[in-house]
């Protein structure tokens, strides 16, 4: 069966510090991968998605970036965090069809 992992589960970072969140998927090959952010009291905002290794599509211009160095690994990064980057970050995967399956999420607090 397929499993999606995200780490860390929680993170507190000062403004201006770098960020690296990692997501890995097990039990499937060549999945589509997605990064979402849920800000406090808001819906799910799609940040990036990838249909293959090295292929990244950005949905929202901001100081975040994404990379996919391996088929089942998706990384979200920032060189300098802003207060507005605080939120709940979710990784998701899709193999076929339209259903996306989400990881447990990372709670990021920028102080």
Residues 74-93 as x/- pattern, contact with another protein by CB under 8 A:
--------------x-x-x-
| Contact between 105 and 90 (Cβ < 8 Å) | yes
Residues in the chain: 111
CB neighbourhood size of 96 (10 A): 8
Q: Choose, by CB under 8 A, the member of 13, 22, 28, 107 that binds another protein.
A: 107
Nearer to another protein, 66 or 90 (CB): 90
22 binds another protein per the rule CB under 8 A: no
Smallest gap, in angstroms, from Cβ of residue 36 to another protein?
8
Rounded CA gap, 66 and 33, in Å? Answer: 11
Binding to another protein (CB under 8 A) within 29-68 occurs at 32, 34, 36, 42-46, 49, 51, 59
Residue 49's Cβ-count burial label (10 Å; 0-12, 13-18, 19+) is buried
Contact 63, 16 (CB under 8 A): no
| Contact residues: another protein, CB under 8 A | 32, 34, 36, 42-46, 49, 51, 59, 88, 90, 92, 94, 97-105, 107
């Amino acid at each position: 069966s397929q499993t999606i992992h995200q780490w860390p589960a929680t993170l507190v970072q000062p403004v201006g510090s770098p960020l690296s969140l990692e997501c890995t998927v097990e039990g499937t090959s060549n999945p589509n991968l997605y990064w979402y952010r849920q800000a406090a009291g808001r819906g799910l905002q799609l940040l990036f998605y990838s249909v293959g290794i090295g292929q990244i599509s950005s949905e929202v211009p901001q100081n975040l970036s994404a990379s996919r160095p391996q088929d089942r690994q998706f990384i979200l990064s920032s060189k300098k965090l802003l207060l507005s980057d605080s939120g709940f970050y979710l990784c998701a995967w899709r193999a076929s069809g339209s259903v996306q399956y989400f990881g447990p999420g990372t709670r990021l607090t920028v102080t």
